[in-house]
Structure 1
Amino acid sequence: MAIGMLIVSVSLGFYQVLTRFLFNAPSTWSEVLSRATMIWCVFMAAPATFRGGFMMAVEVIYKLVPARAMLAVELAIGACCLLVLGVLAYQGVLMTERVSGQTLSALEVSISWAYAAIPVGSACCMVAVIGRLLAQITGRETLGPSHDEAVEQDTDAPLAHDAREGHRS
């Protein structure tokens, strides 16, 4: 869904540029719809980052905590994420209800459709966080950050160090 919304947003942006500069008749609706689809794109892509652990990784903490305490760290980070996402979902519902009487300019569509991305995306993120924690608790996923950047940095560091040492000699 996130990729679809990104494609729609970019296409509408391109259409907006064409109508404005090529035809000298700017579209009144494409910019508004492009912005709304970009909001949905962000909130639909966020669960994948939470599920992969990319939004929750605090590298310094992982390096300082002993391996036996790593699950407690993951649970604490997950709990903090769930708390923030819960507040965001709740406030998003309130905000969506509050703006339901307003319309997107030039579209005559309720602006609440754009704001609904906040509670929907937050709820999806909460499911992703819970899924990651359950996978870590049951041992199906490793504890700590799951991305390769930390590994790449660690493997590159000795090479950079060796190169500096060789340069000094």
Structure 2
Amino acid sequence: MTHATLWLACTLFGIASMIGLMQIFTRFVLKLPTPWSEVSIRILLIWMVFMGIPIAFRRGAMISVDLMYRKSSPWFRPKLEIFITAVTLAFLITLTWWGMRFSLMAGNVQTIIGLEPLKMFWAYISLPIGSALAMIAVIGNYLEPKHEELETAQ
């Protein structure tokens, strides 16, 4: 899953970059701005971020309470990891629940300005999908810990 979300996030970034270059060319060289390019870039970047979050969680590279982790005793560290995992999962469950509700309620009513045939559902659904994938990554990091943030900070 980590490799697939990393590949998807990188692909979305590449597509957003190409659309951005095309937008610059059409706006400033051809003097024909494209109304759909800016909103497309914004939606692609939102998707990129929510596809990148699981990677950061799985690698243990999210900002955490690393000072507490470093200063804690070996006896307390497993309890701290359980607490951090539980709080993170509670937040991601909440984000998934409310993100899904919002996607289904508002997403099917609103259209994307500049891309009128598409509903905002396709932009909003990135939140619950990314959060659900991040939950899997958090559990994976708990079962097989990786602390890349701590390793690079030293």
* TM-score, structure 2 normalization: 0.88
State the partner residue of 2:111: 103
SS of match in other structure, 1:46: helix
1:64 positional shift: 2.3
Query: Which contiguous aligned blocks of 4+ residues in structure 1 show a shift greater than 2 angstroms?
Result: 145-148
- Contact 1:5–1:38 (8 Å) recurs in 2: yes
Q: CA RMSD in A?
A: 1.3
Shift of 1:56: 5.1
Distance in 2 between residues matched to 1:150 and 1:23, nearest whole Å: 47
Report the TM-score when normalising by structure 1: 0.80
Higher gyration radius (CA): 1
Paired with 1:65 and 1:54, the residues of 2 have a C-alpha distance of 19
Q: Residues of 1 paired with 2:92 and 2:19: CA distance?
A: 30
Deviation, structure 1 residue 26: 0.4
Runs (5+) with no aligned partner, structure 2: 1-7
Does residue 1:71 correspond to 2:78, yes or no?
yes
- More RCO (CA 8 Å, sep 6+): 2
Match of 2:144 among 135, 138, 152: 135
Which amino acid letter does the alignment assign opposite residue 104 of structure 1? I
1:80 to 83, 87, 100: 87
Matching of residue 119 in structure 1 with residue 128 in structure 2: yes
Q: Which runs of 5+ in 1 are unaligned?
A: 152-169
1:20 matched to 2:27? The reply is yes
Identical columns (%): 33
Contact 1:50 1:56 in 2 (8 A): no
Mapped to 2, the partners of 1:34 and 1:56 lie a distance apart of 26
Alpha-carbon distance, 1:106 to partner: 2.3
